[in-house]
Structure 1
Amino acid sequence: MKIQSVAAELSLKRSVDSGTDEQRMAVRNIIQGVRSDGDAALLAYTKQFDKAQLDHLKVTELEIEEAYNEFPEEMIEVIRQAADNIYTFHEKQLRETWTYTDSSGTILGQKMTPLDSVGVYVPGGTAAYPSSVLMNVLPAKVAGVKRIVMTSPPGADGCLPAGVLVAAKICGVQEIYKVGGAQAIAALAYGTESIEPVDKITGPGNIFVALAKREVFGTVDIDMIAGPSEIVVLADDSARPAEIAADLLSQAEHDTRASSVLVTPSQKLAEETAKEVESQLNDLPRASIARESIENYGAIYVTKDMKEAIDVVNGLAPEHLEVMTENAMDVVKDIRHAGAIFVGRFSSEPIGDYFAGPNHVLPTNGTARFSSPLNVDDFMKKSSLIIYSEQSFNENFKKIAAFARLEGLEAHARAVEIRKA
């Protein structure tokens, strides 16, 4: 890994999924195809892109039961425990409707209402992601969303991965469709003969999924446009180079565009970690992916002290931040921008990916400066409550009418004054 001082140009190299002109045009054509031809377009695109010849889009109850019955019992229990942890964590986020009454009798407040329907996209391809099912479905369940629809691209055999179906069953998802890519996003947004449209779409995907989510935003809500995975490790001499290297590589193996960065005031730790990364790459199954990621998007920044290191981290605003320092919680107090913060040597980032409970859908590309992890609030909407008392009206109607006329809105003013006539 490249070691450099902060005096050099500082940046967390990011690969933004803005797509090419050809990709954007392809996505728009796919969306239009689904809007025009519905299920027929979904079946045609699934045959074209996923090499699967389907006679039905919806996953049957029998398919779910078969996947569950054939899945290793010990892994079912692991997924179930992870689901319990995630559900329990998100229950703490649930907010209730609230009101207050002032001295005049006016009642003001906020009504919390779950969304009616949500579409969850689960990526497919060469890997299965049951963790994506848990992290997207369970906050919606906690919020009280009644209809949760899941889509995922099938394999060439026309089936979804067993682990994905098992996770869906554990989460109580029954409406599942074998469709992926931009066509799945279009179906969730606009509907087809088989798939009724939803109000919001969440879940990660490839560049075509990301571009499709951007295209349909406004017709439906979306969670975010997520970029490649990022990790920053903030460490001092108390940390262990082998553990830091392993954590950096845990993100590098995701994607050739993933970003793995160490920030430290220790030149010694920097050098030892760089050696460990190289050593551990030698027998990593996804070494070619991880190596390209490390070479193109990895870095080690050496700072003059811990204060400067913290400033660097806040400037990078990473998706994942590990803090491996003495007095780590004192350091955390000064962290302002990070999607998720993992504190101490036993809080390796993959623990958050799968099992601890907090959501692993996190802001990327520096958006942790203003964004939060996926949470229960993302599946609820807020309505203001105004029950104005006669006393407050009599005291304030002239002020309100004057304000309306200040903005040139006479009808607004009269709508207030007519009640006093």
Structure 2
Amino acid sequence: MTVSTAIARLNAADPDFARHLDHLLSWESVSDDAVNQRVLDIIKAVRERGDAALVEFTQRFDGVQATSIDDLILDRERLELALTRITPVQRQALEKAAERVRIYHEWQKQDSWQYTEADGTVLGQKVTPLDRAGLYVPGGKASYPSSVLMNAIPAKVAGVAEVVMVVPTPRGEVNELVLAAACIAGVDRVFTVGGAQAVAALAYGTESVPQVDKIVGPGNIYVATAKRHVFGQVGIDMIAGPSEILVVCDGQTDPDWIAMDLFSQAEHDEDAQAILVSPDAAFLDRVAASIDKLLPTMERAQIIQKSVNGRGALIQVKDMQQAMDVANRIAPEHLELSVADPQAWLPHIRHAGAIFMGRHTSEALGDYCAGPNHVLPTSGTARFSSPLGVYDFQKRSSIIFCSEQGASELGQTASVLARGESLTAHARSAEYRILTQQKGN
């Protein structure tokens, strides 16, 4: 079947560039009313009927002939069995990736701290891991063992005592690579359930599924909608949109490399976004030619074609500084700085989920084994959020330990502010601790 692209060409010098760029970037992940109501009904059923509802929904939606919740539980021995069922090369790759991810995330660990003021008052912060985290993993053929590593390992590094994984097995199809990754990453319990029902089970608990403190991991629109609804009952990582890549290139990288980097995200799904920004118009032409040349060779050519035609773009800018401005405006999930001196341009980047520096650093390395997390903010949310990390599985408690003298001095300040807010009990609570000598001053 013939496939070709008609990727959009934009020029930052055009008067309507900002409007065209906004239109290109626009993405609405809001569920429609039907999806929203269906998710609410599922959550209600799981809260009311627990395991029985999970079994029923798994039969209905996944075609799994489970008769009880026991049929939907995988023990540690089953995970270890998966390690023996994958090839030695696959196991070696998973173990190497896991090691690199673990080493990188060890650097993110935060420790508790305290300091003592002159009067003996102690202030500080106590850092504590979550008790239990829930990991949602898509199932079936579209399975991602790399996501298991990226979500479970930071939790374990943070000190989370129990990581519970949910993964659907549509029509009973089990992905051994996913289970092997769970074994290597230290996942404690696995339930073969998915969809909104799995999110509800993790958020509220059932007779068999333990309630967690935070739910992380990607899923379809039903999963994303369910995560929105249970937020507040539990924490969540983010509501992720389609994958996206922005490549900034000075025009000196092999155009085939750049085309394939764009494909690496476009192949995820039709709504994924791949954009190239360069001051070299002739280079944009060469990349466009590479796209047309390489597209027919891709297994997922039709998905790439729809993604590139629908949401992709080649953007010409006047110089590299304007390229940085456009990059910050887009705030991409993945940013490749495919330039001669990426370190020189790094200070100009304010908004990006992950920054891949230099001509040889493909985004694909970050997806699997470089070490940094591949769970990244999408749809411009890199303006205010960060990659998933150890800090997402830790919470911080403030420590305030006043000496007698410190309580007395602070009490005077608190009294003034509390009475200014007409909160008399606050004021008097603080005033009780003001030393007599100071009261008289």
Q: What is the TM-score with the length of structure 2 in the denominator?
A: 0.93
Between 403-412 and 2-11, the greater mean CA deviation after superposition: 2-11
* Corresponding residue of 1:340: 354
Offset, 1:126: 2.8
Match of 1:51 among 13, 38, 63: 63
Q: Of the candidates 361, 370, 374, which is equivalent to residue 375 of structure 2?
A: 361
- Equivalent position of 2:141 in the other structure: 126
C-alpha contact (below 8 Å) 1:14/1:259 kept by paired residues: no
Q: How far 1:304 moved relative to its partner?
A: 1.0
SS of the equivalent of 1:231 reads strand
Equivalent-residue separation in structure 1 for 2:368 and 2:26 (angstroms): 24
Q: 1:270 touches 1:300 (CA, 8 Å); kept in 2?
A: yes
**Residue aligned with 1:341, SS:** strand
Deviation at 1:172?
A: 1.6
Give runs of aligned pairs for residues 22-41 of structure 1, distance below 5 A: 22-41=34-53
- Cα distance in 2 for partners of 1:406, 1:30 equals 49
Aligned equivalents of 2:399 and 2:77: distance in 1? 46
SS of alignment partner, residue 171 of structure 2? coil
Show structure 2 runs of 5+ residues with no match: 1-6, 437-441
Cα offset, 1:47, TM superposition: 1.3
Deviations 1:378-409 (A, max 9, x none): 00000000111222223332221111100000
Tell me the residue number matched to 1:279: 293
Q: Matched residue of 2:150: which SS?
A: helix
Q: Is structure 2 residue 236 aligned with structure 1 residue 209? A: no
- Which SS does the other structure have where 1:108 is aligned? strand
C-alpha distance in 2 between matches for 1:88 and 1:320 = 21
Partner amino acid for 2:112?
Answer: T
Q: Which residue of 1 aligns with 2:156?
A: 141
Alpha carbons 1:152, 1:160 under 8 Å: kept: no
Deviates most, 352-361 or 321-330: 321-330
In structure 1, list runs of 5 or more residues that go unmatched: none
Deviation at 1:20, TM superposition (A): 1.0
**Structure 2 contact 137–218 (Cα < 8 Å) conserved:** yes
> Which stretch shows the higher mean deviation, 59-68 or 314-323?
59-68
Matches of 1:379 and 1:60 in 2, distance apart? 24
**Bigger shift: 35-44 or 143-152?**
35-44
1:411 has 2:408 as partner: no
Equivalent of 1:232 in 226, 239, 246: 246
Q: Percent identity?
A: 49
Secondary structure (helix, strand or coil) at the match of 1:81 reads helix
- Residue 11 of structure 2 corresponds to 5
Q: Provide the aligned length of Structure 1 versus Structure 2.
A: 420
Among candidates 162, 171, 176, match of residue 185 of structure 2: 171
Report if the CA contact (8 A) 1:16-1:365 is conserved: no
| Aligned partners of 2:255 and 2:287 also within 8 Å | yes
Distance 1:263 1:72 in 2: 40
Q: Which of 36, 39, 42 is 2:54 aligned to?
A: 42
Please report how far the alpha carbon of residue 17 of structure 1 lies from its aligned counterpart in structure 2 after TM superposition: 1.8
Conserved 8 A contact 2:94-2:181: yes
Q: Does the alignment pair 1:18 with 2:30?
A: yes
Counterpart residue number, 2:80: 65
Residue aligning to 1:396 = 410
Q: Please tell me whether residue 371 in structure 1 is matched to residue 385 in structure 2.
A: yes
Shift of 1:62: 4.0
Letter in 2 for 1:10: L
Map Cα deviations across residues 131-188 of structure 1 (whole Å, 9 max, x no partner): 111000000001000011000001312x531001100111121300000011100000
Pick the aligned partner of 1:107 from 119, 122, 125: 122
One of 67, 86, 98 as aligned partner of 2:113: 98
The amino acid of 1:23's aligned partner reads V
Corresponding position of 2:3: none
Instruction: Give the Cα–Cα distance (whole angstroms) in 2 for the partners of residues 396 and 231 of structure 1.
Output: 51
